[in-house]
Amino acid sequence: MKKKMRRGSRSLMTGALFAVLLAWLPLAGAQAQHEEEEDDTHLINTDHDRVLKLNPLQLGEVSVAYEKVRTARVSNEIGLSYIYRTFLNEDAWVPTEKRVHGIGIRMSQRKYTKKNIGHPFGFFRGFVFGYRFMLFEKDVFGLPEQDPGDPDYRFIGRLYQNSLDLSYQVGGQFKLSKHLTAEAAGALGVRAKYALATNAGDLIAERMVGHMLAQENSSALFVVPLPQLKLTVGYSF
């Protein structure tokens, strides 16, 4: 039993360090890039250095974002999402859709090509960091109802999920008219997910999508690949 607890503690510590690494990498890259840049803010086109965006095709969530040019070729973007749908493993082949209430935040730094100086248009690349919190509906595990007075009654709490994302994206953003913009980008990365439900036991391991890194009686840590395709429309000003 002691060996099992030590093994679980080491696994959770590994997962925690992995999450810290996800958060640190974009910041380290941004600092290195900042040191290499010269003061070229005078080249920024202040008539089109900000963009408000909507992602109408994002599956399972409603997403908005704001991008601001920081130097002649670098911009920062922050996005907020309301998450209403995700998936769990219930079928052997196809994950099952589940209703949730959740929020998400995305932060990214973009570096545009040298042909696009002073405005956030053209081709870009850079890291994306994200955090998501989701609260699943009650009885998400689909277990039969039990009488609390039954000697075999098993209380299972509501399922929560926290996740950290780290991706690298490549894409382009272009003007459709004086202020209307369109963006298409692809990203590839990894997502670390921490799921928690009181007394859920192996149900979490069975239902969550991803490779499990560590498990305890009421929680588990997972990692999953994160390919993404983003299509947005926006307003520049």
pLDDT digits (tens, 9 = 90+) for 84-133: 999 998 776 778 899 999 999 999 999 998 777 778 899 999 999 999 99
- Looking only at the bridges linking them, the beta strands covering 122-136 and 211-215 are unpaired
- Cα 153 from chain centroid (whole Å): 36
pTM, to two decimals: 0.79
Domain boundaries, the chain: 2-142+150-236
Which top CATH class is 2-142+150-236? Answer: mainly beta
Mean confidence (pLDDT) of the chain: 83
Question: How far, in Å, are 25, 27, 117, 163, 204 from residue 114 at the CA level?
Answer: 24, 23, 6, 35, 48
Q: How far apart are CA 237 and CA 234, in angstroms?
A: 10
Output the pLDDT for position 6. 44
